[in-house]
Amino acid sequence: MRIETIFEMTSPCRDNFRIQGYRFGEGEKTLAIVGAMRGDEVQQQYICSQLVNRLTMMEQRGEIVRGKSILVIPSCNPFSMNVSRRFWAMDNTDINRMFPGYDQGETTQRIAAAVFSAINGFEYGIQMASYYVPGDFVPHVRMLKTGYEDVETARLFGMKYVTICQPRPFDTALLNYNWQLWDTKAFSVYAGKTDRIDRNTGNETLDAIFRMMKRTGIIHQGSLGVAYDSILIDEADLLHIKAHHAGIFCRLVDAGSRVAAGESLAHIIDPYNGQVLSDVKSAAEGTVFFAHHRPVVFQNALLFMIHVA
């Protein structure tokens, strides 16, 4: 294992800002894994730390295929994590909306440019991603529709779901989108949680990543865990359930729960008199793919996504 400095800049009030990468194996640029880009992506950084730990031991045992190299960048935004801010602490910009970056631009553009320079040219790329709405997911692999998405490789993770999504105009600055355009088979992996560690979904995600590495010939062996025959879904086909009222959100079901049509999913409570403003019900039978988890919601906020099947 070799530690590399991907990007560094001085800070007026604390130690230098550094992005570090951990490289394993040698030879062709095979797999790059990028962890937390946002300050609340604790689960994503935790998973990357476990990847570094396991890959260190695997390299010592000679379990990485000769001629293959792996780069893991656990965190691209330690400053924001230190001060508990989701986006860049100075100007609230999102590093994951700055790719492929600009090395003469604003700070987050420079960070994105340095990271993209380090990970460009790898055959496979995995981003430990989080959703723009706070909540919990069924762990899955996600790809943007660019014309270069690789569904068959995505199935090699053996996760329950593989999702594809039509990119919106502002999605063209995402890492996943640009990675694909620059000939990397890119996958965003959603590990169930974001701002808190869940070891169950974390271990499930770790197993999926090592399963993909085994099946693509990057490692000789590894714990494959329980694999699924992945279900491919287009995110446009998910049933979206939104809040009709603002208030205190009391969730009744979790991500992964099977629900019936008409079943209560949550209650929205008046924050002053405690009355139930809304009994949020499922419009169809299916599996809860996403569930909002913040205690207070606004009117029209996305609360649930249901996979109807």
pLDDT at position 132: 87
Residue from 165, 85, 200, 183 nearest 125 by CA = 183
Q: In sequence order, what are the beta bridge partners of 219?
A: 64
Strand bridging mode 239-242 / 264-269? unpaired
Residue 70 pLDDT > 70: yes
Distance CA(113)–CA(173), nearest Å, equals 12
**pLDDT confidence tier of residue 142, bands split at 50, 70 and 90:** very high
Residue from 157, 217, 215, 158 nearest 187 by CA = 157
Tokens of 208: 């999926």
Residue length, the chain? 309
pLDDT (mean) for 53-78? 96
Question: pLDDT tens for residues 1-10?
Answer: 999 999 999 8
Q: Mean pLDDT check: name the lowest of 96-100, 131-135, 212-216.
A: 131-135
pLDDT at position 116: 98
Rounded to two decimals, the pTM is: 0.94
**pLDDT confidence tier of residue 90, bands split at 50, 70 and 90:** confident
pLDDT (mean) for 99-105? 96
**pLDDT confidence tier of residue 194, bands split at 50, 70 and 90:** very high
Question: pLDDT tens for residues 19-61?
Answer: 999 999 999 999 999 999 999 999 999 999 999 999 999 999 9
**pLDDT confidence tier of residue 223, bands split at 50, 70 and 90:** low
Residue 221 pLDDT > 90: no
pLDDT at position 20: 97
Residue 75 pLDDT > 70: yes
Q: How far is CA 157 from CA 48, 151, 249, in A?
A: 16, 11, 34
On the question of a common fold for 2-234 and 238-307, the answer reads no
pLDDT at position 168: 92
Instruction: Classify residue 127 by its DSSP letter.
Output: E
Burial environment of residue 167 by CB neighbours within 10 A (0 to 12, 13 to 18, 19 or more): middle
Average pLDDT score, the chain = 95
Distance CA(297)–CA(302), nearest Å, equals 9
Q: Identify the helix (H) or strand (E) that includes residue 161.
A: strand 161-165
Percent above pLDDT 90 for the chain: 92
Specify the CATH number for 238-307; select among 1.10.8.10, 2.40.50.100, 1.20.950.20, 3.30.420.40.
Answer: 2.40.50.100
Distance CA(149)–CA(186), nearest Å, equals 8
**pLDDT confidence tier of residue 108, bands split at 50, 70 and 90:** very high
To which residue do tokens 């924050």 refer? 271
Q: Domain limits of the chain?
A: 2-234, 238-307
- Arch. (CATH architecture) of 2-234: 3-Layer(aba) Sandwich (3.40)
pLDDT at position 89: 87
